[in-house]
Amino acid sequence: MKNPTIEIVSYTDPYCTWCWGSEPIIRKIQEVYGEQVHFRYVMGGLVEDIRKFSDPGAGIGGKYWYKQVADHWLEASNRHNMPVDVQVYYDIKNEVFSTYPASIAFEAARLQSEELGKQYLRRLREGAAAERKAIQRFDVQIELATDLSLDIEQFKEDIQSGKANSLFKNDLHECRNKGVRGFPTYLVRNGDNEVLLRGYNSYQTFNNWLQELSNGQLEQKTLMGGSSQIFDFISRYGKSAAIEVATVFDFDLQQAEKLLTGMVTKGLIIVKKAGNGFLYSLPKQSAPECNSATGVCSM
Protein backbone atom coordinates (compact mmCIF):
# COMPACT_ATOMS: atom_id res chain seq x y z
CA MET A 1 0.00 0.00 0.00
CA LYS A 2 1.06 3.59 -0.62
CA ASN A 3 2.14 6.15 1.93
CA PRO A 4 -0.58 8.12 3.72
CA THR A 5 -2.15 10.74 1.48
CA ILE A 6 -5.50 11.35 3.16
CA GLU A 7 -6.13 12.55 6.70
CA ILE A 8 -9.45 12.06 8.46
CA VAL A 9 -9.85 14.28 11.51
CA SER A 10 -12.55 12.85 13.77
CA TYR A 11 -14.21 15.43 16.02
CA THR A 12 -15.66 13.24 18.71
CA ASP A 13 -16.49 12.51 22.34
CA PRO A 14 -16.01 9.24 24.30
CA TYR A 15 -19.70 9.24 25.31
CA CYS A 16 -21.13 9.97 21.85
CA THR A 17 -23.38 7.07 20.79
CA TRP A 18 -23.19 7.86 17.08
CA CYS A 19 -19.39 7.94 17.36
CA TRP A 20 -19.63 4.45 18.88
CA GLY A 21 -21.98 3.53 16.05
CA SER A 22 -19.39 4.71 13.52
CA GLU A 23 -16.69 2.32 14.77
CA PRO A 24 -17.56 -0.40 12.19
CA ILE A 25 -17.08 2.12 9.39
CA ILE A 26 -13.80 3.42 10.81
CA ARG A 27 -12.48 -0.12 11.10
CA LYS A 28 -13.46 -0.87 7.50
CA ILE A 29 -11.62 2.22 6.26
CA GLN A 30 -8.55 1.09 8.20
CA GLU A 31 -8.76 -2.42 6.77
CA VAL A 32 -9.37 -1.37 3.17
CA TYR A 33 -6.92 1.54 2.98
CA GLY A 34 -4.36 0.77 5.68
CA GLU A 35 -1.67 3.41 6.09
CA GLN A 36 -2.90 5.41 3.11
CA VAL A 37 -5.47 7.01 5.43
CA HIS A 38 -4.44 8.56 8.73
CA PHE A 39 -6.94 9.21 11.54
CA ARG A 40 -6.52 12.01 14.06
CA TYR A 41 -8.94 12.41 16.96
CA VAL A 42 -10.03 15.75 18.40
CA MET A 43 -12.19 15.91 21.52
CA GLY A 44 -15.27 18.10 21.23
CA GLY A 45 -16.60 18.24 24.79
CA LEU A 46 -20.15 17.02 24.27
CA VAL A 47 -21.41 17.77 27.82
CA GLU A 48 -19.58 20.08 30.22
CA ASP A 49 -22.26 19.89 32.94
CA ILE A 50 -25.49 17.93 32.50
CA ARG A 51 -27.31 20.40 34.76
CA LYS A 52 -26.82 23.08 32.10
CA PHE A 53 -27.14 20.81 29.06
CA SER A 54 -30.06 20.86 26.66
CA ASP A 55 -30.52 19.09 23.32
CA PRO A 56 -34.14 19.69 22.24
CA GLY A 57 -33.61 17.75 19.02
CA ALA A 58 -32.77 14.59 20.96
CA GLY A 59 -35.22 15.39 23.76
CA ILE A 60 -32.48 15.61 26.39
CA GLY A 61 -32.39 18.06 29.27
CA GLY A 62 -33.68 18.54 32.79
CA LYS A 63 -34.27 16.33 35.81
CA TYR A 64 -34.73 13.06 33.91
CA TRP A 65 -31.70 13.48 31.65
CA TYR A 66 -30.45 9.96 32.47
CA LYS A 67 -33.61 8.28 31.17
CA GLN A 68 -33.65 10.54 28.12
CA VAL A 69 -30.04 9.70 27.27
CA ALA A 70 -30.71 5.98 27.83
CA ASP A 71 -33.70 6.09 25.49
CA HIS A 72 -31.66 8.01 22.91
CA TRP A 73 -28.88 5.41 23.06
CA LEU A 74 -31.31 2.53 22.60
CA GLU A 75 -32.95 4.23 19.65
CA ALA A 76 -29.55 4.88 18.07
CA SER A 77 -28.41 1.31 18.73
CA ASN A 78 -31.44 -0.01 16.88
CA ARG A 79 -30.14 1.89 13.85
CA HIS A 80 -26.36 1.49 14.03
CA ASN A 81 -26.44 -2.01 15.62
CA MET A 82 -23.53 -1.51 18.01
CA PRO A 83 -24.35 -2.89 21.50
CA VAL A 84 -25.24 -0.54 24.34
CA ASP A 85 -25.86 -1.00 28.06
CA VAL A 86 -27.92 1.99 29.12
CA GLN A 87 -28.11 0.95 32.77
CA VAL A 88 -24.93 2.96 33.35
CA TYR A 89 -26.97 6.16 33.17
CA TYR A 90 -29.26 5.02 35.96
CA ASP A 91 -26.13 4.18 37.98
CA ILE A 92 -24.86 7.75 37.72
CA LYS A 93 -28.14 9.68 37.68
CA ASN A 94 -27.32 11.44 40.96
CA GLU A 95 -23.81 12.47 39.89
CA VAL A 96 -22.86 15.74 38.23
CA PHE A 97 -22.36 14.19 34.82
CA SER A 98 -19.78 15.55 32.37
CA THR A 99 -17.99 14.05 29.38
CA TYR A 100 -14.99 16.32 29.96
CA PRO A 101 -13.09 14.02 32.39
CA ALA A 102 -13.13 11.08 29.95
CA SER A 103 -11.94 13.37 27.15
CA ILE A 104 -9.08 14.57 29.33
CA ALA A 105 -8.18 10.96 30.12
CA PHE A 106 -7.90 10.32 26.37
CA GLU A 107 -5.48 13.24 26.10
CA ALA A 108 -3.37 11.73 28.89
CA ALA A 109 -3.14 8.45 26.98
CA ARG A 110 -2.30 10.24 23.74
CA LEU A 111 0.59 12.00 25.48
CA GLN A 112 2.30 8.59 25.68
CA SER A 113 1.75 7.81 21.99
CA GLU A 114 -0.77 8.51 19.27
CA GLU A 115 -1.50 4.80 18.89
CA LEU A 116 -2.07 4.31 22.62
CA GLY A 117 -4.40 7.28 22.55
CA LYS A 118 -6.48 5.64 19.82
CA GLN A 119 -6.54 2.33 21.67
CA TYR A 120 -7.58 4.03 24.88
CA LEU A 121 -10.36 5.97 23.16
CA ARG A 122 -11.76 2.69 21.88
CA ARG A 123 -11.50 1.26 25.40
CA LEU A 124 -13.37 4.28 26.78
CA ARG A 125 -16.11 3.79 24.19
CA GLU A 126 -16.43 0.09 25.02
CA GLY A 127 -16.59 0.86 28.72
CA ALA A 128 -19.19 3.59 28.45
CA ALA A 129 -21.36 2.12 25.72
CA ALA A 130 -21.33 -1.61 26.32
CA GLU A 131 -19.79 -2.46 29.69
CA ARG A 132 -21.74 -0.26 32.10
CA LYS A 133 -18.66 1.65 33.20
CA ALA A 134 -18.86 5.26 34.41
CA ILE A 135 -15.85 6.50 32.47
CA GLN A 136 -16.02 10.01 33.92
CA ARG A 137 -14.73 8.54 37.19
CA PHE A 138 -10.97 8.67 37.73
CA ASP A 139 -10.78 5.14 39.15
CA VAL A 140 -12.57 3.74 36.09
CA GLN A 141 -10.21 5.63 33.78
CA ILE A 142 -7.26 4.02 35.56
CA GLU A 143 -8.93 0.60 35.39
CA LEU A 144 -9.34 0.88 31.62
CA ALA A 145 -5.79 2.19 31.23
CA THR A 146 -4.42 -0.96 32.88
CA ASP A 147 -5.87 -2.99 29.99
CA LEU A 148 -3.30 -1.35 27.70
CA SER A 149 0.46 -0.91 27.82
CA LEU A 150 0.19 2.57 29.32
CA ASP A 151 2.50 3.87 32.02
CA ILE A 152 -0.15 4.20 34.72
CA GLU A 153 1.79 6.54 36.99
CA GLN A 154 2.54 8.87 34.07
CA PHE A 155 -1.09 8.64 32.99
CA LYS A 156 -2.30 9.72 36.44
CA GLU A 157 0.29 12.49 36.68
CA ASP A 158 -0.66 13.96 33.29
CA ILE A 159 -4.31 14.12 34.35
CA GLN A 160 -3.70 15.49 37.84
CA SER A 161 -1.09 18.06 36.76
CA GLY A 162 -3.41 19.64 34.19
CA LYS A 163 -1.15 18.75 31.27
CA ALA A 164 -3.83 16.62 29.61
CA ASN A 165 -6.44 19.30 30.26
CA SER A 166 -4.33 21.80 28.31
CA LEU A 167 -4.46 19.53 25.27
CA PHE A 168 -8.21 19.15 25.72
CA LYS A 169 -8.62 22.94 25.70
CA ASN A 170 -6.65 23.05 22.45
CA ASP A 171 -9.07 20.51 20.99
CA LEU A 172 -12.08 22.59 22.04
CA HIS A 173 -10.50 25.62 20.39
CA GLU A 174 -9.98 23.67 17.15
CA CYS A 175 -13.63 22.59 17.17
CA ARG A 176 -14.79 26.18 17.56
CA ASN A 177 -12.53 27.34 14.73
CA LYS A 178 -13.94 24.66 12.42
CA GLY A 179 -17.53 25.39 13.40
CA VAL A 180 -17.99 21.89 14.81
CA ARG A 181 -20.93 21.70 17.20
CA GLY A 182 -22.21 18.15 16.75
CA PHE A 183 -20.57 14.75 16.90
CA PRO A 184 -19.33 12.88 15.10
CA THR A 185 -17.97 15.33 12.53
CA TYR A 186 -15.20 14.35 10.13
CA LEU A 187 -12.77 16.53 8.22
CA VAL A 188 -11.48 14.52 5.25
CA ARG A 189 -8.57 16.20 3.50
CA ASN A 190 -5.75 15.79 1.04
CA GLY A 191 -3.50 18.81 1.28
CA ASP A 192 -5.60 21.91 0.64
CA ASN A 193 -8.58 19.92 -0.64
CA GLU A 194 -11.02 18.97 2.09
CA VAL A 195 -14.63 18.24 2.95
CA LEU A 196 -16.46 18.36 6.28
CA LEU A 197 -18.85 15.46 6.89
CA ARG A 198 -21.30 16.05 9.72
CA GLY A 199 -22.98 13.29 11.70
CA TYR A 200 -23.13 9.56 11.05
CA ASN A 201 -21.98 8.72 7.52
CA SER A 202 -21.98 5.44 5.63
CA TYR A 203 -18.84 3.69 4.48
CA GLN A 204 -19.88 4.40 0.89
CA THR A 205 -19.93 8.14 1.60
CA PHE A 206 -16.42 8.00 3.05
CA ASN A 207 -15.21 5.80 0.20
CA ASN A 208 -16.56 8.18 -2.43
CA TRP A 209 -14.79 11.14 -0.84
CA LEU A 210 -11.53 9.24 -0.34
CA GLN A 211 -11.48 8.39 -4.03
CA GLU A 212 -12.53 11.92 -5.04
CA LEU A 213 -9.91 13.67 -2.92
CA SER A 214 -7.15 11.29 -4.05
CA ASN A 215 -8.16 11.44 -7.72
CA GLY A 216 -8.73 7.70 -7.57
CA GLN A 217 -5.11 7.05 -6.58
CA LEU A 218 -5.75 5.18 -3.33
CA GLU A 219 -5.45 1.42 -3.50
CA GLN A 220 -8.30 -0.63 -2.02
CA LYS A 221 -7.54 -3.96 -0.41
CA THR A 222 -9.96 -6.77 -1.20
CA LEU A 223 -11.08 -8.39 2.05
CA MET A 224 -11.92 -12.08 2.32
CA GLY A 225 -14.39 -13.11 5.00
CA GLY A 226 -13.57 -16.60 6.20
CA SER A 227 -13.05 -17.77 9.78
CA SER A 228 -9.28 -17.28 9.57
CA GLN A 229 -9.67 -13.68 8.36
CA ILE A 230 -12.22 -12.92 11.08
CA PHE A 231 -9.94 -14.49 13.69
CA ASP A 232 -7.05 -12.32 12.46
CA PHE A 233 -9.27 -9.23 12.55
CA ILE A 234 -10.34 -9.85 16.16
CA SER A 235 -6.77 -10.71 17.18
CA ARG A 236 -5.61 -7.29 15.94
CA TYR A 237 -8.51 -5.13 17.07
CA GLY A 238 -9.65 -6.90 20.22
CA LYS A 239 -13.27 -6.76 21.31
CA SER A 240 -15.54 -6.59 18.27
CA ALA A 241 -19.28 -6.49 17.66
CA ALA A 242 -21.05 -8.55 15.02
CA ILE A 243 -21.89 -5.42 13.04
CA GLU A 244 -18.18 -4.58 12.85
CA VAL A 245 -17.43 -7.97 11.31
CA ALA A 246 -20.43 -7.61 9.01
CA THR A 247 -19.39 -4.14 7.85
CA VAL A 248 -15.73 -4.94 7.31
CA PHE A 249 -16.32 -8.18 5.41
CA ASP A 250 -19.54 -7.21 3.59
CA PHE A 251 -21.81 -9.73 5.32
CA ASP A 252 -25.35 -9.11 6.40
CA LEU A 253 -25.67 -8.97 10.18
CA GLN A 254 -27.30 -12.40 10.52
CA GLN A 255 -24.55 -14.02 8.46
CA ALA A 256 -21.86 -12.42 10.63
CA GLU A 257 -23.60 -13.56 13.81
CA LYS A 258 -23.82 -17.12 12.47
CA LEU A 259 -20.11 -17.19 11.59
CA LEU A 260 -19.13 -15.76 14.98
CA THR A 261 -21.34 -18.24 16.82
CA GLY A 262 -19.65 -21.06 14.94
CA MET A 263 -16.24 -19.76 15.95
CA VAL A 264 -17.38 -19.55 19.58
CA THR A 265 -18.60 -23.16 19.42
CA LYS A 266 -15.17 -24.25 18.14
CA GLY A 267 -13.43 -22.38 20.96
CA LEU A 268 -11.65 -19.99 18.59
CA ILE A 269 -13.18 -16.90 20.19
CA ILE A 270 -15.28 -16.06 23.23
CA VAL A 271 -18.44 -14.01 23.51
CA LYS A 272 -19.58 -11.74 26.31
CA LYS A 273 -22.97 -10.14 26.84
CA ALA A 274 -22.81 -6.38 26.32
CA GLY A 275 -26.11 -4.71 27.14
CA ASN A 276 -28.48 -5.35 24.27
CA GLY A 277 -25.82 -7.19 22.27
CA PHE A 278 -22.50 -9.01 22.45
CA LEU A 279 -18.77 -8.41 22.08
CA TYR A 280 -16.42 -11.07 20.72
CA SER A 281 -12.75 -11.46 21.60
CA LEU A 282 -9.97 -14.02 21.76
CA PRO A 283 -9.81 -16.31 24.79
CA LYS A 284 -7.10 -15.46 27.29
CA GLN A 285 -4.17 -17.77 26.85
CA SER A 286 -3.42 -20.01 29.78
CA ALA A 287 0.17 -20.29 30.92
CA PRO A 288 1.84 -23.35 29.34
CA GLU A 289 2.56 -26.35 31.54
CA CYS A 290 6.20 -27.35 31.27
CA ASN A 291 7.78 -30.67 32.22
CA SER A 292 11.21 -30.00 33.70
CA ALA A 293 12.35 -33.54 32.95
CA THR A 294 11.49 -33.56 29.25
CA GLY A 295 11.69 -29.85 28.56
CA VAL A 296 8.36 -30.04 26.73
CA CYS A 297 5.69 -27.39 27.24
CA SER A 298 2.03 -27.78 26.38
CA MET A 299 -1.15 -25.73 26.78
Q: State the distance between the two ends of the chain, measured CA to CA, in whole angstroms.
A: 37
Please tell me the pTM assigned to this model.
0.92
pLDDT, residue 3, reads 55
**φ, ψ at 179 (rounded to 5°):** 70, 25
pLDDT, residue 55, reads 86
| Burial track 108-118 (b if 16+ CB lie within 10 A, e otherwise) | bbbbbeeebbb
- CA-based nearest residue to 24, from 213, 287, 266, 248: 248
Q: Looking at the structure, do residues 91 and 236 belong to the same domain, yes or no?
A: no
**Which regions of the chain are under pLDDT 50?**
1, 286-292, 295-299
Is residue 15 in some structural domain? yes
Predicted confidence (pLDDT) per residue in 214-227, tens digit: 999 999 999 998 99
H/E stretch holding 290 reads strand 289-290
Q: Looking at the structure, do residues 163 and 32 belong to the same domain, yes or no?
A: yes
CATH number at 274 reads 1.10.10.10
Q: What is the DSSP letter of 277?
A: E
Q: Looking at the structure, do residues 273 and 129 belong to the same domain, yes or no?
A: no
Domain interval for residue 250: 227-281
pLDDT, residue 295, reads 44
pLDDT, residue 167, reads 99
Is residue 172 in some structural domain? yes
CATH number at 143 reads 3.40.30.10
Collect contacts of 171-175 with beta carbons under 8 A, ≥24 apart: 171/42, 171/43, 171/44, 171/45, 171/103, 171/107, 172/43, 172/44, 172/45, 174/42, 175/11, 175/42, 175/44, 175/45
Q: Looking at the structure, do residues 23 and 94 belong to the same domain, yes or no?
A: yes
pLDDT, residue 31, reads 98
Total domains, the chain: 2
SS3 140: helix
